[in-house]
Chains A and B, each alone.
Chain A
């Protein structure tokens, strides 16, 4: 107990803010731009107080034009700055998609390696507690589809705080997903930020009976499900993918080879999703290690309902994970 690890309890929002502050403090080239990030303190109050601390030049409110300010961010990055562009939520990012997909993701290639776009685009993602069909999308797969992008998913408080700093070190554009529904969620984490390697998935819980592969909002639900399953003798391994592009195949394939059973959990719609990609890779590379078909728990393929109980029913919950795993393992 010479060096006791100091713990602190904080919300997901607070973790994001600490990450932002740290990034701004560490590098003068880093600046934040986005809708209402300055005077208003951010649509979700993540950047509250940062304008006062870092000034108008580094905390920049922008006009309501996603294509415009994401394009400006790309330009600043090419010019040598390290911009953090906040697109309030993934729902509005479609307006900036041409900039992200056709410019940010392709310029290195099209310039023959002469241009780099060290840009970080943050966006809130997923359901946000009754925000309706247009404002509740889980669209990680849209960006995970694009070569030239790095796509990160902050499914834990550690990553909410630590991912940004490392994303800024990437010479290529990074899309960083944060989860709106988790903003008020409190967790206890280490005071000292550990080095968070953003190129690797992370085994958050070791187990031998089944591998639960998840990301984003699925992470804590899967961990809770695993804890409940442990009481009935099922030892589940939980893996947070963390980096959705390029996928860290090594980590989850090694787990599959150990447990021989896989379930993938995500809030996103099932068709053409991150889970379908992971499932396919497992089939391609670990077919002879599978003792049961890969199962998936995904969002119901409907526009997200507004009523709270239907919203809850539209994405996998802890009990769904528990039940699906028990069924897979013929338990009870």
Chain B
């Protein structure tokens, strides 16, 4: 019996609200099917399933907010008869929607609840349901302090809810800000970063690109960033320690899924992953970007796109800063930055010339790799960009 869990779409995600089931009981599902839509800080996300089978049981109602890891549905493998008897009971702890129910529930009747007369009076004055309060007094009695704490908690939640509501109308930009804040704080707190920079000559790459684009329709024309992505993916094949996550130790990833930082119009960023970029052609990567970027800006990404990244690329584009030193997106262990492409004086073979160059940087997790690995990687990346025709 397979279990379909509320997925984590990033280190910063604690819970999600199930908005809609896209499948019903009895439906057969296969890997990659969208099974549900979940509201997160990063917008309405289509959640995919990664096993085959038949939806046997749906455990979470639409509109319910549940923590990451909560069992949401049971999937029985195809060919195995539906069976419910042998199942062990599954305990569910959905986060209730109602504000007051955030507090632990007492099942006892009100008449059996021990609260001091003063606590009851204050609770009544402030319209606090005393049943929802856990007593800290002698023998679990609810005291004045407990009620005052509950009032304070409710007021805080009310305030947060008001903020959240305002955020909704303000296109979720605040929520995204908080998500970024959480992830980046975690990164800077936990990950010892090291930083490397390499100036890469793009003369050959851009010349190749110009030629290649002449043979393509306008919509299919390649952007320089496609070459960067492809070159990174190709280089990473030889540096598995950079294509990895750190979760109580280094775990290298088989697929090279490059998270691509997309800046949103109203501020904030989304980082959808380009799956298996090393196996894609440059045209396929361009296609992926054309698909991903507008969807990221509309906050309509799929769960796998949000959670599968194994390394991140942040590219400044045409008019950006010369260099960018990124903050690693946990639990990844590296982020590559490309500054803006510009003409610069360039010394080579004792001669000074003008070349089109880009500053490539690497911020690495020093727990996972050392500067030597990073440095070698940047060299290979540079070499790969000198042979664009092989990308």
Q: Which residues of A contact B (CB under 8 A)?
A: 260, 287-292, 327-328, 330
Residues of chain B in range 88-143 having any CB-CB distance to chain A below 8 Å:
116-121, 136-138, 141, 143
A121 vs chain B, min Cβ distance (A): 40
Contact indicator B136/A292 (Cβ below 8 Å): no
Partner of A290 from the list B117, B136, B145 (CB cut-off 8 Å) is B117
B132 vs chain A, min Cβ distance (A): 19
* 14 A-B contact pairs sorted by A residue (CB < 8 Å): A260-B116, A288-B117, A288-B121, A289-B117, A290-B117, A290-B118, A291-B116, A291-B117, A291-B137, A291-B143, A292-B116, A292-B137, A292-B143, A330-B137
B243-287 toward A: CB 8 Å interface, digit per residue (1/0)?
000000000000000000000000000000000000000000000
Residues of chain B in range 44-98 having any CB-CB distance to chain A below 8 Å:
none
CB-defined contacts of B120 to chain A, threshold 8 Å = 288
CB-defined contacts of A328 to chain B, threshold 8 Å = 138
A255 vs chain B, min Cβ distance (A): 14
Contact indicator B121/A292 (Cβ below 8 Å): no
Q: State whether A287 and B117 are in contact (beta carbons under 8 Å apart), knowing that A260-B144, A292-B143 are contacts in the complex.
A: yes
- CA distance in complex: A327, B136 (Å): 12
Instruction: Identify the closest chain A residue to B147 (Cβ).
Output: A291
- CA distance in complex: A288, B144 (Å): 11
CB-defined contacts of A291 to chain B, threshold 8 Å = 116-119, 137, 143-145
B136-173 toward A: CB 8 Å interface, digit per residue (1/0)?
11100101110000000000000000000000000000
Main secondary structure of the interface of B (DSSP, over half): helix
A317 vs chain B, min Cβ distance (A): 22
B120 vs chain A, min Cβ distance (A): 8
Partner of A260 from the list B118, B136, B138, B141 (CB cut-off 8 Å) is B118
A153 vs chain B, min Cβ distance (A): 30
B119 vs chain A, min Cβ distance (A): 6
B306 vs chain A, min Cβ distance (A): 46
B108 vs chain A, min Cβ distance (A): 20
B139 vs chain A, min Cβ distance (A): 10
CB-defined contacts of A290 to chain B, threshold 8 Å = 116-118
Q: What are the nearest 8 A-B pairs in CB distance? A: A291-B118, A291-B144, A291-B116, A288-B121, A288-B117, A287-B117, A290-B117, A291-B143
CB-defined contacts of A330 to chain B, threshold 8 Å = 136-138
A140 vs chain B, min Cβ distance (A): 29
B149 vs chain A, min Cβ distance (A): 13
- CA distance in complex: A22, B298 (Å): 95
- CA distance in complex: A230, B11 (Å): 47
A127 vs chain B, min Cβ distance (A): 31
CB-defined contacts of B143 to chain A, threshold 8 Å = 291-292
A256 vs chain B, min Cβ distance (A): 10
Instruction: Identify the closest chain A residue to B120 (Cβ).
Output: A288
B279 vs chain A, min Cβ distance (A): 63
- CA distance in complex: A291, B141 (Å): 9
- CA distance in complex: A292, B117 (Å): 8
- CA distance in complex: A287, B117 (Å): 6
Contact indicator A288/B136 (Cβ below 8 Å): no
A240 vs chain B, min Cβ distance (A): 25
Given contacts A292-B141, A292-B143, 4 further A-B contacts (CB under 8 A): A287-B117, A288-B117, A291-B143, A292-B138
Instruction: Identify the closest chain A residue to B115 (Cβ).
Output: A291
CB-defined contacts of B119 to chain A, threshold 8 Å = 291
- CA distance in complex: A290, B116 (Å): 6
B252 vs chain A, min Cβ distance (A): 52
A209 vs chain B, min Cβ distance (A): 11
CB-defined contacts of B145 to chain A, threshold 8 Å = 291
Identify which of B120, B121, B136 gathers the most chain A CB atoms within 10 Å of its CB. Answer: B121
Identify which of B119, B136, B138, B141 gathers the most chain A CB atoms within 10 Å of its CB. Answer: B138
CB-defined contacts of B121 to chain A, threshold 8 Å = 288
Instruction: Identify the closest chain A residue to B146 (Cβ).
Output: A291
- CA distance in complex: A327, B118 (Å): 19
- CA distance in complex: A237, B367 (Å): 58
- CA distance in complex: A291, B118 (Å): 5
Instruction: Identify the closest chain B residue to A289 (Cβ).
Output: B118
- CA distance in complex: A287, B115 (Å): 12
CB-defined contacts of B144 to chain A, threshold 8 Å = 260, 291
- CA distance in complex: A292, B138 (Å): 8
- CA distance in complex: A229, B267 (Å): 55
A259 vs chain B, min Cβ distance (A): 11
- CA distance in complex: A290, B137 (Å): 13
- CA distance in complex: A95, B60 (Å): 81
Residues of chain B in range 185-206 having any CB-CB distance to chain A below 8 Å:
none
CB-defined contacts of A287 to chain B, threshold 8 Å = 117
CB-defined contacts of B117 to chain A, threshold 8 Å = 287-291
CB-defined contacts of B137 to chain A, threshold 8 Å = 291-292, 330
Identify which of B117, B121, B141, B143 gathers the most chain A CB atoms within 10 Å of its CB. Answer: B117
